[in-house]
Amino acid sequence: MRVALLAHEKFPDDAKTAVGVLRYADYDVTAVLDRDLAGDRVNDHLEGVPDAPIVAGMDDLDEPVDALLIGIAPIGGGFDDSWRPDVRAAIESGADVIAGLHYFLSEDDEFASLAAENGVDLWDVRKPDADLTVAQGVSGDVAADVVLTVGTDCSTGKMTASVEMTDAATDRGEDAAFVPTGQTGIMIANWGHPIDRVISDFTAGAVEDMIVEKGDEHDYLFVEGQGAITHPAYSAVTLGILHGSMPDKLVLTHNAGQEVVHGYEDFELADLETYVDLYEDLAAPVHEAEVVAGMLNTSAIESDEAAREAVETYSDAIGAPATDPVRFGAEEILDAVL
Amino acid sequence: MRVALLAHEKFPDDAKTAVGVLRYADYDVTAVLDRDLAGDRVNDHLEGVPDAPIVAGMDDLDEPVDALLIGIAPIGGGFDDSWRPDVRAAIESGADVIAGLHYFLSEDDEFASLAAENGVDLWDVRKPDADLTVAQGVSGDVAADVVLTVGTDCSTGKMTASVEMTDAATDRGEDAAFVPTGQTGIMIANWGHPIDRVISDFTAGAVEDMIVEKGDEHDYLFVEGQGAITHPAYSAVTLGILHGSMPDKLVLTHNAGQEVVHGYEDFELADLETYVDLYEDLAAPVHEAEVVAGMLNTSAIESDEAAREAVETYSDAIGAPATDPVRFGAEEILDAVL
């Protein structure tokens, strides 16, 4: 599928979804839309991903695309009206539109009627299925080994770690699948429930629905965790995923050097050992699981040598092998996980 | 406010909401609607609550009421069409209708237009406010002491314990308020957010919104907890309330003799000490709180003497004073809580 990524004024540092899609999705990204960087190329700003031109808008594409994907999410998840001409142009050209906003394109009158006229789909990734319900407590019964990424905060690389482990296991010849729980993960995997948007009573149930759907088709499921068990705002989602997925193994993710909760700086992170204990102690009454490996995001550390030292210190603190999956690869800890 | 309670075929044992309202709400309940018990009186079936006639339907009321309250919730929270004539009659008589169903009366075409015609309100207690959002992490800043009930399972008496403590503290002359989080609690308190129905990302935020609203108006807030931290389906809501309310003190509720999770019988309850540790360890990184008292539901134990023994055993296990608030009163443990 040929896709254009909308990332106006935000590429690449504030376009987490666009970067995730470039790095991990199977889409053929033929252009990035960013009016501030028009004329540049993706690799001028981001390495290690397929290159593509950056253009000012849909009218500047060389060839038509199958879909326009909104690759940025402003605080609050709203729709920025300056994107309207691009979305309109995409629909009129016969392209589907994929978005992970809290604002649903399929409920926008103009887009909905235009999409019907042109026979295209508006896929609001964050709109939960209407038939989700409470968990039955059966995720532990699936055949696959379930590996869940957990963390010390939001944005510690849980999705990245889960995708990297899936890819590393697949490279080894294992039958492994990635189970997404957030908007970017869903866009990458092309399926999944947006766990942070479901009714709170259905949090575990929505995760269970995915585990049950895939759990007998693969030998390993790598489930994307969310938030942190000590997060003042998001811990509910974290625990719903832990109990809803009933993992056999946990992988603890952390940003090197981080000491307080991002955006909630009055709250200090707990000791790393405390996270290990909390996740294991909470898993135990429902389905026992151990932290078998760690993933450290060392992107803020310049030299590979210093990053390697940070990973070793982290490994000692959590009592399990660790790596930075982006810098050193997930393969390094795979023996501990499989 | 004069209220009729609809509890067809379920009163009193399967009409938890009706019984909670009879026991704790300030409404003047003038009749219970139960077509199976028509002609009996409330006190024929339930002691310790104000008496009222039981009638077959709205047409059999002696005098008009200000509101009809749906006091039962079938599995799944649906609306039973056999109730439709009573709801219609209530609206046509000028009475508001209060319901805590997943099915929203205000979105039922017949009821909505009839209510508009007759100028009455349809209050769907379980319909969350549209403006809820993520927690800011400020519940710990309020002036009031916040006391949260937690439990070993759903239906361990968290709402009852919270209301009984509020009433006991008020009787002592303290300025205390009850903070509801579920449908029956909201009907009793006449305000509040239905925490189990909000978007999962907003679980803590919806609780925080209530704590901030009331936290500087009272000396004590008694917050109704939900579920259990080890519940395979509902733990997300439990933890969202723990971190969203940032309690100073915890009160652990439990059903005497219960050993497995109700409705999830493959899952054993953990040791009582484990619950104390889990709740305290999870609270600590966000806002430290200790389990200062316990509440044991001894309704399944016949003699007061045996119930008293069970309470003492429970108190020893959790390392804090305990009572059965319905049988022996909440006053017994109030010194440990205030």
The band of A336, judged by pLDDT with boundaries at 50, 70 and 90, is very high
The band of A102, judged by pLDDT with boundaries at 50, 70 and 90, is confident
The band of B77, judged by pLDDT with boundaries at 50, 70 and 90, is confident
CATH number at residue B206: 3.40.50.300
Residue at which a domain ends, from B100, B124, B148: B124
Residue B134, in any domain of the structure: no
pLDDT of residue B30: 97
A243 vs A75: CA distance, rounded Å:
28
A interface with B, Cβ–Cβ below 8 Å: 134-137, 195-205, 229-240, 242-243, 246, 261, 264, 266-270, 274, 277-278, 281-282, 284-286
* Mutation site, A127, A153, A200, A230, interface B, largest B CB count within 10 A: A200
Residue A134, in any domain of the structure: no
pLDDT of residue A74: 79
pLDDT of residue A108 exceeding 80, the answer is yes
Tell me, yes or no, whether B6 and B78 share the same domain: yes
Residue at which a domain ends, from A69, A90, A124: A124
Q: Determine whether the interchain pair B237/A236 forms a contact, defined as Cβ–Cβ distance below 8 Å.
A: yes
Q: Determine whether the interchain pair A235/B233 forms a contact, defined as Cβ–Cβ distance below 8 Å.
A: no
Q: Determine whether the interchain pair A199/B203 forms a contact, defined as Cβ–Cβ distance below 8 Å.
A: no
Tell me, yes or no, whether B203 and B303 share the same domain: yes
**What are the tokens at A288?**
């026992």
Q: Determine whether the interchain pair A236/B231 forms a contact, defined as Cβ–Cβ distance below 8 Å.
A: no
For chain B, what is the mean pLDDT? 97
A34 burial (CB, 10 Å; 0-12 / 13-18 / 19+) is: buried
pLDDT of residue A77: 81
> Quick one: which of A77, A65, A142, A64 has its CA closest to A104?
A77
Tell me, yes or no, whether B193 and B83 share the same domain: no
The band of A75, judged by pLDDT with boundaries at 50, 70 and 90, is confident
Residue B131, in any domain of the structure: no
pLDDT of residue A200: 97
pLDDT of residue B271: 97
The band of B180, judged by pLDDT with boundaries at 50, 70 and 90, is very high
Q: Determine whether the interchain pair B267/A137 forms a contact, defined as Cβ–Cβ distance below 8 Å.
A: yes
**Residue B281, helix vs strand vs coil:** helix
Minimal Cα distance from A205: which residue of B? Answer: B233
Cβ-Cβ contacts under 8 Å between A and B: the total is: 145
Tell me, yes or no, whether B207 and B316 share the same domain: yes
CATH number at residue B117: 3.40.50.720
Residue at which a domain ends, from B124, B152, B174: B124
Residue A288, in any domain of the structure: yes
Tell me, yes or no, whether A76 and A171 share the same domain: no
- The distance of A130 to chain B (nearest Cα, Å) reads 13
Q: Once rounded to an integer, what is the mean pLDDT over residues A216-229?
A: 98
Residue A194, in any domain of the structure: yes
Tell me, yes or no, whether A97 and A212 share the same domain: no
B interface with A, Cβ–Cβ below 8 Å: 134-137, 195-205, 229-240, 242-243, 246, 261, 264, 266-270, 274, 277-278, 281-282, 284-286
Considering only CB atoms, B286 lies closest to which of A200, A204, A267, namely A267
- The distance of B75 to chain A (nearest Cα, Å) reads 12
The band of B331, judged by pLDDT with boundaries at 50, 70 and 90, is very high
Q: Once rounded to an integer, what is the mean pLDDT over residues A315-320?
A: 98
pLDDT of residue B76: 73
For chain A, what is the mean pLDDT? 97
Minimal Cα distance from B137: which residue of A? Answer: A232
- Contacts of residue A205 in chain B, CB cutoff 8 Å? 233
Residue A168, in any domain of the structure: yes
Q: Determine whether the interchain pair A230/B282 forms a contact, defined as Cβ–Cβ distance below 8 Å.
A: yes
B106 burial (CB, 10 Å; 0-12 / 13-18 / 19+) is: middle
A13 burial (CB, 10 Å; 0-12 / 13-18 / 19+) is: exposed
Residue A262, in any domain of the structure: yes
B297, B157 Cβ separation under 8 angstroms: yes
B295 burial (CB, 10 Å; 0-12 / 13-18 / 19+) is: buried
Q: Once rounded to an integer, what is the mean pLDDT over residues B318-332?
A: 97
Tell me, yes or no, whether B167 and B227 share the same domain: yes
pLDDT of residue A73 exceeding 90, the answer is no
Tell me, yes or no, whether A108 and A162 share the same domain: no
Domains: count for chain A: 2
Minimal Cα distance from A234: which residue of B? Answer: B201
Q: Once rounded to an integer, what is the mean pLDDT over residues A11-23?
A: 94
Q: Determine whether the interchain pair A237/B264 forms a contact, defined as Cβ–Cβ distance below 8 Å.
A: no
B170 vs B154: CA distance, rounded Å:
27
Tell me, yes or no, whether B118 and B143 share the same domain: no
Structural domain containing residue A241: 139-337
pLDDT of residue A65: 98
Minimal Cα distance from A77: which residue of B? Answer: B133
pLDDT of residue B75: 73
pLDDT tens-digit readout, A152-207: 999 999 999 999 999 999 999 999 999 999 999 999 999 999 999 999 999 999 99
Tell me, yes or no, whether B298 and B182 share the same domain: yes
Minimal Cα distance from B238: which residue of A? Answer: A236
A112 burial (CB, 10 Å; 0-12 / 13-18 / 19+) is: middle
Predicted structure pTM score: 0.95
Residue A133, in any domain of the structure: no
Q: Determine whether the interchain pair A135/B281 forms a contact, defined as Cβ–Cβ distance below 8 Å.
A: no
Minimal Cα distance from A240: which residue of B? Answer: B236
Tell me, yes or no, whether A206 and A321 share the same domain: yes
Q: Determine whether the interchain pair B233/A134 forms a contact, defined as Cβ–Cβ distance below 8 Å.
A: yes
> Quick one: which of A199, A267, A209 has its CA closest to A236?
A199
B266 vs B27: CA distance, rounded Å:
40
pLDDT of residue A183: 94
A244 vs B26: CA distance, rounded Å:
39
Tell me, yes or no, whether A147 and A174 share the same domain: yes
B183 vs B195: CA distance, rounded Å:
9
* Mutation site, A101, A231, A235, A238, interface B, largest B CB count within 10 A: A235
The band of B53, judged by pLDDT with boundaries at 50, 70 and 90, is very high
pLDDT tens-digit readout, B290-307: 999 999 999 999 999 999
- The distance of A103 to chain B (nearest Cα, Å) reads 13
